[in-house]
Amino acid sequence: MRGERVYLVLGCGDVGFSVASRLKRRGAELVVVDKDAKKIEWFKKMGYSAFVGDFCLPDVLKDAGISRAEVVLLMIPDFRLTERALGAINRLKAELKIDPVVVARVLDESETAEVKHLGASDALPSSQILANFTLSRFEELKGMVKEKRLRALLGELGGRIAIVLQTNPDPDGIASGVALKRYAQAFGIDADIIYDGSIGHQQNRALVNLLDLDLLHAEDVKFDNYTAFALVDVATHANCALPKDILPTIVIDHHPVPSSEVHARYQDITIVGSTSTLLTNYLRYAAVEIDGATAAALVIGTLTDTMNFTRGTTPTDFEAFEHLMKLADVELLGKLQSPAVPPDALDVLARAIKGSKLNGGYLITNVGEVDDRDTLPQASDFLLKREGVQTVLVYGIWNNLVCVSARTNDIAIHLGQALRQAFSEIGSAGGHARMAGAMIPLKAIKAKSKRVLKRAIDRQVGRKFLEVVGVTKPSKRGRTRPRSKR
Ligand SMILES: [Mn+2]
């Protein structure tokens, strides 16, 4: 019955009915159980699956289908009855080897600890049920169900897990990898975090350095050594180092991906602001301690992916974030938020400022040779803040390539398209409307000698871009025309 989430609602007074009807409206499959035959008759008339019987008896729960239930909601106001029902559920958990999420109604907060002690996963005070059983609560129940499934899967796995991040991982991916490793370790399974591409940008490096993370590069990894493979913040082979002939065991991602493209024994594709949010909840629901450093990393993961809560944020993100902020190492968080800038990035920035030419709102600058390609986008990010600048194009030579980084605040141009139009004939280019990049092999630049190379690049990259966006007219001498492919 995989994939079919069945809710068992025990007790259907006013509260039970209210919860059942809200679940039904959300499309959940549910079964209602109560001793009162008249009430059950009425539920049946309303189109519910309903069952008459005393749910404190294991046999009644079996007949009602508890073996299929992923969530059991005990909605009765009587604590002694709740206690007996929990006893019956506990017996069946062992007997049927099931582990549903059990939520019990309590009169007040003081009973919460007691029902949890008796085996409930969570408690809902009566006062809150009617007010609070809204979308976020429903999402939370779904999250708890998923966590139980993942835990059950981990219980079946032996050996070591390869946690594979997306190519050129970002803070959300790295933090999620760290959190999943922690989660797996809590259940006795060790894991390695594997990436490919590079750990660019200071914020990523700060995460790795300050948390003292031991990430493995895919080139140094033998995938045969692992018994299971988890993808976090990525869902398919397309954007990570997992070899094509290996299917992932676990996929946890927040990007919308058609489920037909995801092939894994366990998959959680939930559209929220960050994978960090999802992993935070896995740790919470499993009651795995989140240390200050991991919490800080997850905070950074959420902040960067949601652009400080301005993009794709859901109530689930806010709620997980609130939880993390209570645990995060504040000093570490400060360091992660404004990581130290390495000297060569400052050096490139200095050259970018010095060499910049402003034309209309367009700032163009050639920084010459760089050791680290990532210093280019950092320079363009910075220069976009300059007063009067709408669009920035920074370029320089790295590894026999002319690398181009562009940023804009101008809604009238689409940078990805502009860069493709300007450079796809002599190199590769792409990106979004507001940020884009290009790479052009140095040998595609037409220059008579090394001495004039810089000026040739300025002409064929900087000036070419200005022509494409319509700031300057194409040169009559035709020198900016891309060289035809040989
Ligand atoms: Mn992400």
Q: Domain end: 337, 353, 385, which one?
A: 337
- H or E element that contains 378: helix 375-383
pLDDT of residue 132: 59
| pLDDT at site 16 | 86
Number of domains in the chain: 3
Question: How far, in Å, from the CA of 305 to the mean position of ligand 1?
Answer: 6
Shared domain for 181 and 115, answered yes or no, is no
Asked if residue 142 is part of any domain, the answer here is no
How remote is the CA of residue 233 from the centroid of ligand 1, in Å?
5
The residue from 337, 355, 382 where one domain ends is 337
Q: Check whether residue 302 and residue 184 sit in a common domain.
A: yes
The token duo for 116 is 């949890």
Tell me how far the alpha carbon of residue 136 lies from the centroid of ligand 1, in angstroms.
Answer: 21
Q: Which residue, 276, 249, 327, is CA-closest to 169?
A: 276
Q: Does residue 300 lie within any of the structural domains? A: yes
Cα separation, 470 vs 486, whole angstroms: 28
Cα(298) to centroid of ligand 1, in Å?
Answer: 11
Residue 251 within a domain? yes
Residue 139's identity, in one-letter code, is E
Whole-number pLDDT of residue 38? 92
- Digit-coded pLDDT (tens) for 208-262: 999 999 999 999 999 999 999 999 999 999 889 999 999 999 999 999 888 788 8
**Distance from the CA of 405 to the center of ligand 1, in angstroms?**
22
State whether 404 and 446 are in the same domain. yes
Q: Which two tokens stand for residue 80?
A: 């002694």
Return the sign of the alpha-carbon dihedral for residues 282, 286, 287, 292.
negative
Q: How many CB atoms lie within 10 A of CB 234?
A: 25
- Cα–ligand 1 centroid distance for 27 (angstroms): 28
User: Do 449 and 429 reside in the same domain of the chain?
Assistant: yes
Q: Residue 138 falls within a domain, yes or no?
A: no
User: What distance in Å separates the CA atoms of residue 144 and residue 162, rounded to the nearest whole number?
Assistant: 24
- Please tell me the distance from the alpha carbon of residue 424 to that of residue 59, in angstroms, as a whole number: 70
Q: What spacing in Å lies between the alpha carbon of 150 and ligand 1's midpoint?
A: 20
Query: Does the residue 110 lie in any domain?
Result: yes
Q: How far apart are CA 479 and CA 46, in angstroms?
A: 78
- Tell how far the Cα of 164 is from the centroid of ligand 1, in angstroms: 13
Looking at the domain assignment, is residue 27 inside a domain?
A: yes
Q: Domain limits at 284?
A: 153-337
pLDDT of 200 reads 77
99 and 221, same domain (yes or no):
no
Closest CA to 162 of 249, 70, 239: 249
Q: Are 5 and 28 in contact (CB under 8 A)?
A: yes
Distance 134 CA to ligand 1 centre (A): 26
The contacts found for 262-266 with CB under 8 angstroms, 24 or more apart, are: 262/235, 262/236, 264/231, 265/153, 266/149, 266/150, 266/153
pLDDT at 2: 40
What separation in Å is there between the alpha carbon of 268 and the centre of ligand 1? Answer: 13
pLDDT at position 451, please? Answer: 84
In the structure, how many helices (H) and strands (E) does the chain have?
18, 18
- Please indicate, yes or no, whether residues 372 and 328 belong to a single structural domain of this protein: no
Yes or no: say if 48 and 111 are a contact pair by the CB < 8 Å rule.
Answer: no
Q: Judge contact between 140 and 277, C-beta under 8 A.
A: no
Same domain for 357 and 373?
A: yes
Ligand 1 centroid–CA 377 distance in Å is 20
**Residue segments in the chain with a per-residue pLDDT below the cut of 70:** 1-4, 129-136, 475-486
Angle (CA) 280-285-286 rounded to 5° is 100
Whether 385 and 408 share a structural domain: yes
| Residue 463 DSSP one-character state | I
Same domain, 160 and 302: yes
180 and 275 in a single domain? The answer is: yes
How far, in Å, from the CA of 139 to the mean position of ligand 1?
19
Residues 308 and 170 in one domain: yes
Q: What is the CATH number of the domain that holds 387?
A: 3.10.310.30
Give a yes or no: residue 59 inside a domain: yes
Q: Residue 277: which CATH number?
A: 3.90.1640.10
Inter-residue contact 89 to 115 (CB < 8 Å): no
Within-domain flag for 58: yes
Q: Could you give the maximum distance between any two Cα atoms of the chain, in Å?
A: 95
Sequence letter at residue 102: V
Q: Which of 337, 362, 396 is the last residue of a domain?
A: 337
Asked whether residue 349 falls in the same domain as residue 249, the answer is no
Centre of ligand 1 to C-alpha 458, Å, is 36
Determine the distance separating the centroid of ligand 1 and the alpha carbon of 173, expressed in angstroms.
6
Q: Is the Cα torsion angle 28, 29, 32, 38 positive or negative in sign? A: positive
What is the domain-level CATH number for residue 62? 3.40.50.720
Q: Which residues pair with 250 in a beta bridge?
A: 230, 266
CA of 199 to the centre of ligand 1 (A): 15
Q: What's the residue count for the chain?
A: 486
Would you tell me how many other CB atoms lie within 10 Å of the CB of residue 325?
13
The token pair at 482 is: 């891309």
